[in-house]
Structure 1
């Protein structure tokens, strides 16, 4: 299968690398420094169980998605519109577009911008770009994807590549569950520049996270969202299963990049205002991250 990864950062490089390692034709659309390193040496896939140089294609041009049966959209939520517009002229009618993004609105937006079939996915992976063309995997890696015309084939392809993949009729609920996790951890990890395991040991942190989660749950209930599983247990599990992981927001902040905070705690604040649900803890985290970002952007 030809697979293109639009926005090959820590998430895109991990899943693209796993598919390439399994023998699929993969092209990563990435920043120039990563493309140069990958073209020269391959993608270094540095995981908990193996460390290999994986050969695959890379390009800085959106046109490289041409001919792909599956597109993994892994750009930041802030770049969803521009990414869709960039790849639109090169997609075949039967291409499946799979959104592997944080937040709960990206697949909806992609459907508004692209005529191709779009499916949402929930991503549970701890990874980071450790250097140009070097992806470091800290743990997990499973996907939950929406049903689609090709979901069974795609799920099998991913499983065969070593990516645990589940098809769910309630991806919306799963996306909201992931949003709650991100709201609990991302801003605090960013502001403290601490990994999850150390973060939760801080004085008052778990109580503050409890306030954030309660607000998120209240907004989700007002939205009519049914979240699967035990969300509170999932929040606790993150620090246990990904103790060395810094949030994507922390990684963005450390690099002086704009984060997705508007689509995380910021979304909870906006939806809370619209639905009449108070969200003071999420508002404070959103404001603080935006203030720190304003020093470097």
Structure 2
């Protein structure tokens, strides 16, 4: 599928919740061909009926954008951005198999680590890109999202042939930039270190971001969790600066005071969390490398326990004197 200039690249965003909708809105406002693919039919219907409402920087806009289930848009996309929850990756990839067969590239910007390897069985390596984004988004209601400002994503290809074409998929529009980078793996692990610490802690405690360091010992705990992730990355030749992770923790707690992490939102909604692609995956990779990550292992186990289906045991003895 030849692409002559990146302004010609058509994009479909699979798993278009809050984050995907924010990114899609930026592309649509810039006149880029983009579609939102989502299982949230109420969200898609609201967008079709009234446009996507986006709150950004004190302004509210209505953005007209194609939205519906996978394949609802008529055009074959050049690039499919995968933003589903990591536990939904296999089903998501199966749903876009016809598009991949026709030459679409897939870019995973999902949370955590190991995402590209997880979906590689469903996509030729030459068509697979992996990256990360610090763009933020919040689902206010169906058809309504908010964001705190412009976002950026970085990515790399999973094969030399993919690298040769990677520049075709770079995007730079107001509100969002997608950049090919030689440091994409470092960025993926840096974000993972941040999320293993803050997302898991928020999911366990119910604390908003600004509350996470409000009691003695918690700031040090977040640092220690992140340091384990940094060590696992280093053992695989990936350099993550602990100081950069620390700065991101401090920035988040100071500037995103009332924000609920995605894991906390999932816990509160009774949905599966992404703990297995964060602390769980770090622990598994560490074991393979002969490293110990006791804090990540503990966070993973506690989130599993917190979100385990009720067995009825919690009612036993409820009437005991």
With structure 1 as the length reference, what TM-score do the two structures score?
0.91
Contact 1:66 1:92 in 2 (8 A): no
Report matched runs for 1:146-225 at 5 Å. Answer: 146=156, 148-155=163-170, 157=171, 159-225=172-238
- Aligned pair count reads 295
Q: Which runs of 5+ in 2 are unaligned?
A: 1-8, 158-162, 312-321
Instruction: Give 1:170 deviation, angstroms.
Output: 2.1
Instruction: Give 1:263 deviation, angstroms.
Output: 0.7
| CA displacement 1:90-149 (0-9 Å, x = unmatched) | 346442221111112112333331136111121102211111111111345221122644
Equivalent residue, structure 2, for 1:28: 36
3-state SS of paired residue (1:125):
coil
| CA displacement 1:255-297 (0-9 Å, x = unmatched) | 1100100110111111122222111111111111111111469
Contact 1:126 1:245 in 2 (8 A): no
Contact 1:12 1:74 in 2 (8 A): yes
Match of 2:114 among 105, 120, 124: 105
3-state SS of paired residue (1:278):
coil
Match of 1:9 among 17, 28, 43: 17
Residues 1:18 and 2:26 are matched in the alignment: yes
Report matched runs for 1:93-132 at 5 Å. Answer: 93-115=102-124, 117-132=127-142
Supply the RMSD in Å over aligned alpha carbons. 2.2
Match of 2:84 among 53, 59, 75: 75
3-state SS of paired residue (1:251):
helix
Q: How far apart, in 1, do the equivalents of 2:138 and 2:192 lie?
A: 19
Equivalent residue, structure 2, for 1:46: 55
Equivalent residue, structure 2, for 1:240: 254
Contact 2:150 2:175 in 1 (8 A): no
| Distance change >3 Å, CA 65–CA 275, structure 1 → 2 | farther
Report matched runs for 1:133-152 at 5 Å. Answer: 133-139=143-149, 141-146=151-156, 148-152=163-167
Instruction: Give 1:234 deviation, angstroms.
Output: 2.9
* Bigger Cα displacement from structure 2, 66-75 vs 215-224: 215-224
3-state SS of paired residue (2:139):
strand
Contact 2:150 2:176 in 1 (8 A): no
3-state SS of paired residue (1:126):
coil
Q: Could you list the runs of 4 or more consecutive aligned residues of structure 1 that deviate by over 6 angstroms after TM superposition?
A: none
Q: Which runs of 5+ in 1 are unaligned?
A: none
Contact 2:234 2:240 in 1 (8 A): no
| CA displacement 1:228-264 (0-9 Å, x = unmatched) | 6733323323323433322111111111100100110
| Distance change >3 Å, CA 160–CA 149, structure 1 → 2 | farther
| CA displacement 1:137-186 (0-9 Å, x = unmatched) | 1345221122644443432x3x2243144331121121111110110100
Q: How far apart, in 2, do the equivalents of 1:186 and 1:274 lie?
A: 24
